[in-house]
Amino acid sequence: MDLTRYFDNAASTPCDPRVIEEMLPFLHLNPGNPHSIHAFGRYAESAVEQARQRIAELIGAEDPSQIIFTSGATESNHLVLHSFGERVVTSLVEHSSVREMAQRNNLKSFGQLGSKTLVESIGADQVASLIAVSNEVGTMLAPEAYRELRPGRLHLDATQLVGKFQLDGLNFDFLSGSGHKFYGPKGIGFLYAQDPTELTPLGVGGGQENGLRSGTLNVPGIVGMGCAASIAIEEMASDLDHAQQLRSIVCEELASVSDLRINGGSEVSPYILSISVQGVEAETLLLELDAAGFAVSAGAACSSRDTGNNPVLEAMGLEPDWIRGTLRISFGRFNSRDAAQALGRTLRHVIENTRALRR
């Protein structure tokens, strides 16, 4: 498998080799539990606290104690929703971890990101839980919307934003992130809380993370995510530039294809390219690209096995015909420009050939 052809970075990024190197000692040489008082434990604890500081620096948190380690953004999102219950308001275009939890608990969900209905629906005593960058189409929550939302509280599901964009200037009360979306390991994430005492834990037990998240800390994962955060601080600008170039290359290759639309609007993350083509099913495209060694996704990975039904794209007003032909290409640090060109060219040929066969 050729990593340069892996264009499913929104589903999960590869672990950076520098991250793996920092994690390795914590998988064998130092098995210490950070809550043990012996030297192994103390060493693990200091590594965890260093990682907490690195995450705080990445997102511009005032104090590392505002960072709570979790198993990933799903759990971070649930921690906020659980803590504020009926006071939470969400949009209709959230990640499934928020959308389905909101449905299950009969929470209020309105409109799209930045839409007037959504903004007007958020009262001063409410907590808006909103996706900062759509994992499906890359739409970014507009900065004006953040400011308009300020009367209420704001939880950002920033899983597709963290490590990729500067967060300074954004006003938020809570923020979720996942290590494996910015070249850290899977199964580790964090929640930032401006005031962690407002949170109610999902479970009880050992009382780790100031009682907010019981369970032995995933030390190798935390160390890896911390390292990924430091790399992101250094390389964010060049990574972004790289993603922009890759996206343009693929778009240029597809420019001549008829009945093709690019989703996500004008404020879109360069890391995600969502296209819809008419008359060709996304699954066909995905399998043809797979056969050529390219990994892409038919929508979000969590829903990619069910390509006919996509509540987020429906809420965005995409007709079923277009939804069936929706493909997500997502870019990352390890893609090459040559691979992006080859992907665009192959995709163009597959669309044209499939349409020709159907005529």
Q: Residues interacting with ligand PMP, by CB under 6 A? A: 72-74, 95, 97, 131, 135, 157, 159-160, 178, 180, 189, 300, 302
Q: Find the shortest distance in angstroms from Cβ 278 to ligand PMP.
A: 26
Measured from the CB atom, the residue of 107 and 260 that comes closer to ligand PMP is 107
Measured from the CB atom, the residue of 160 and 276 that comes closer to ligand PMP is 160
Q: Are 185 and 221 within 8 A, CB to CB?
A: yes
DSSP at 125: T
Q: Which of 15, 227, 251, 302 is catalytic?
A: 302
- Residue nearest to ligand PMP according to CB distances in the complex: 72
In sequence order, the β-bridge partners of residue 295 are: 6
No. of helices (H) and no. of strands (E), the chain: 11, 10
Rounded Cα–Cα distance for residues 100 and 94 (Å): 9
Measured from the CB atom, the residue of 72 and 332 that comes closer to ligand PMP is 72
Which residues have C-beta within 8 Å of that of residue 104, sequence separation ≥ 6?
none
Q: Find the shortest distance in angstroms from Cβ 3 to ligand PMP.
A: 20
Q: Are 249 and 341 within 8 A, CB to CB?
A: yes
Q: Find the shortest distance in angstroms from Cβ 250 to ligand PMP.
A: 20
| DSSP string computed for 93-124 | T--HHHHHHHHHTT-EE-SSTT-HHHHHT--T
The two structure tokens encoding residue 120: 């007007």
Q: Find the shortest distance in angstroms from Cβ 136 to ligand PMP.
A: 9
227 catalytically annotated: no
Handedness of CA 338, 341, 345, 350 (dihedral sign): positive
Measured from the CB atom, the residue of 74 and 335 that comes closer to ligand PMP is 74
Query: Which residues form the catalytic set?
Result: 302
